[in-house]
């Protein structure tokens, strides 16, 4: 590509050990470390072109000019990149997702990982993986985890310099699949940027954070040893704990719908009957069912016929953010 422009692709990720609540909201320094898998099959592609003649930033999302809060968030992020490079130039950002918008798959992770790589490259910065992960974190905490490939740990750290994600195993380490049961296409009532500051109002958050290192260590061991039974227990427990915090915060946040709860119960039951599958749910009602790749067809067909399931999406372990 010619000067001052670059294109990048990044996958969203699903957290097995969740991030909820910050020790510093402005810098997005998380209250606890988290663990995730990048989702191949789903991606954001972003092109950034800095132009000294532009008067303001411009954002085009899925072919449509975007303004308001979305543009402001992108502009604020580009300000960080401009500061790092010592350049004042405004930019045109063109971005698209290959997964349905509003399908409840968190797109801010892939969006800010792709934007961090495209914008930093376009403006002439040559960031290593840790620096790129730190930059992506400033746009959306979970975006820090979409920078390295495969299975990823975001080490919470305690400063901007040491809070970034690293790969703990490549995508081919374990052939898992994420079968996503979409039960709502609607936008979240409360987005995660407004949700994180509420975490501290829950009496359960301190305990969730205190136990996170132990759960993360357990999940990491299970993952590295490909021990699904161990993995499933800690993944579900961690997701349940996050939703308990959300529901007991002031004001309470309840992202789960009756259909979500029915799917979660069915997954638990199926596992008790011998199917290697477990659930995890982010800040929305859609249920991510993690299973081995060979069971993904079976899991998908069982979930597709459940009441309230509008659509099934499927992802497998994905690689790092990359230029294209």
What phi, psi does 27 have (nearest 5°)? -90, -5
| Cα dihedral 57, 60, 66, 69 sign | negative
Q: Which one among 142, 167, 205, 260 touches ligand PMV, defined by CB under 6 A?
A: 142
CA 136, 65, 125, 149 dihedral sign is positive
Which one, 34 or 260, has the nearer CB to ligand PMV? Answer: 34
Q: How many residues bind ligand PMV (CB under 6 A)?
A: 14
Task: Please list every residue from 163 through 192 that binds ligand PMV, using CB under 6 A.
Answer: 192
* E strand or H helix that includes residue 192: helix 192-195
Q: How many CB atoms lie within 10 A of CB 15?
A: 24
- Among residues 20 and 231, whose Cβ is nearest to ligand PMV? 20
Task: Rule CB under 6 A: choose which of 282, 288, 289, 315 binds ligand PMV.
Answer: 282
Cα-atom radius of gyration of the chain, to the nearest Å? 19
Nearer to ligand PMV, 283 or 296 (CB): 283
Structure-token pair, residue 150: 């495969």
Minimum Å gap between C-beta 240 and ligand PMV is: 13
Write down the least CB distance from residue 51 to ligand PMV, Å: 29
Distances (CA, A) of 186 to 138, 142, 161, 313: 26, 21, 36, 16
Beta carbon nearer to ligand PMV, 81 or 242 = 242
The candidate with the shortest Cα–Cα distance to 146, out of 301, 40, 278, is 40
Q: Which residues pair with 38 in a beta bridge?
A: 13
d(CA 249, CA 256): 15
Per-residue contact flags (x/-) with ligand PMV for residues 98 to 117, judged by CB under 6 A: --------x-x---------
Residues 6 or more apart in contact with residue 5 via CB below 8 angstroms = 47, 48, 49, 50, 122
Q: Residue 97 interacts with ligand PMV (CB under 6 A)?
A: no
Contact residue for ligand PMV among 283, 289, 296, 299 (CB under 6 A): 283
Residue 192 C-beta: closest distance to ligand PMV, Å: 3
Is 141 a binding residue for ligand PMV by CB under 6 A? The answer is yes
Distance separating the N- and C-terminal Cα atoms of the chain: 10
Contacts of residue 301, Cβ cutoff 8 Å, sequence gap at least 6: none
Q: What is the largest CA-CA distance in the chain?
A: 64
In the complex, the smallest distance separating the C-beta of residue 55 from ligand PMV, rounded to whole angstroms, is 30
By CB under 6 A, tell whether 150 contacts ligand PMV: no
Question: How far apart are CB 93 and ligand PMV at their closest, in Å?
Answer: 19
Residues 27-86 that bind ligand PMV (CB under 6 A): 34
In degrees to the nearest 10, what's the CA dihedral of 212, 217, 219, 220? 130
Least distance in angstroms from the C-beta of 140 to ligand PMV: 4
- Site mask, ligand PMV, residues 8-37, x = CB under 6 A? -------x--xxx-------------x---
Rounded to a whole number of angstroms, the minimum distance from the CB of residue 34 to ligand PMV is: 5
Contacting positions for ligand PMV (CB under 6 A): 15, 18-20, 34, 106, 108, 140-142, 192-193, 282-283
């Amino acid at each position: 590509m010619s000067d001052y422009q670059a294109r990048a692709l990044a996958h969203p990720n699903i957290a097995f050990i969740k991030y909820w609540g910050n020790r510093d909201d402005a810098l997005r320094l998380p209250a606890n470390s988290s663990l995730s898998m990048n989702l191949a099959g789903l991606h954001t592609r972003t092109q950034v072109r800095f132009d000294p003649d532009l008067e303001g930033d411009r954002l085009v999302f899925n072919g449509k000019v975007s303004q308001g809060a979305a543009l402001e968030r992108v502009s604020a992020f580009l300000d960080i990149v401009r500061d790092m490079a010592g350049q004042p130039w405004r930019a045109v950002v063109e971005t698209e997702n290959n997964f349905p918008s509003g399908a409840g798959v968190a797109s801010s992770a892939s969006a800010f990982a792709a934007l961090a790589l495209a914008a930093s490259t376009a403006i002439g910065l040559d960031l290593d993986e840790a620096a790129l992960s730190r930059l992506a974190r400033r746009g959306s905490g979970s975006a820090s985890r979409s920078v390295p490939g495969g299975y990823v740990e975001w080490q919470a750290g305690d400063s901007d310099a040491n809070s970034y994600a690293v790969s703990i195993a490549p995508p081919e380490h374990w052939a898992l699949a994420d079968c996503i049961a979409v039960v709502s296409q609607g936008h979240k009532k409360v987005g995660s940027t407004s949700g994180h500051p509420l975490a501290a109002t829950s009496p359960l958050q301190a305990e969730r954070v205190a136990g996170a290192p132990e759960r993360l260590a357990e999940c990491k061991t299970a993952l590295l040893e490909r021990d699904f039974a161990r993995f499933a227990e800690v993944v579900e427990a961690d997701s349940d704990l996050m939703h308990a915090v959300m529901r007991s915060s002031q004001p309470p946040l309840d992202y789960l719908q009756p259909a979500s709860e029915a799917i979660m119960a069915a997954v638990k039951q199926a596992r008790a009957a011998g199917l290697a599958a477990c659930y995890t749910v982010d800040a929305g009602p859609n249920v991510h069912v993690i299973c081995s790749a060979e069971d993904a067809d079976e899991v998908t067909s069982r979930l597709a016929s459940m009441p309230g399931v509008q659509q099934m999406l499927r992802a497998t372990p994905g690689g790092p953010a990359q230029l294209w």
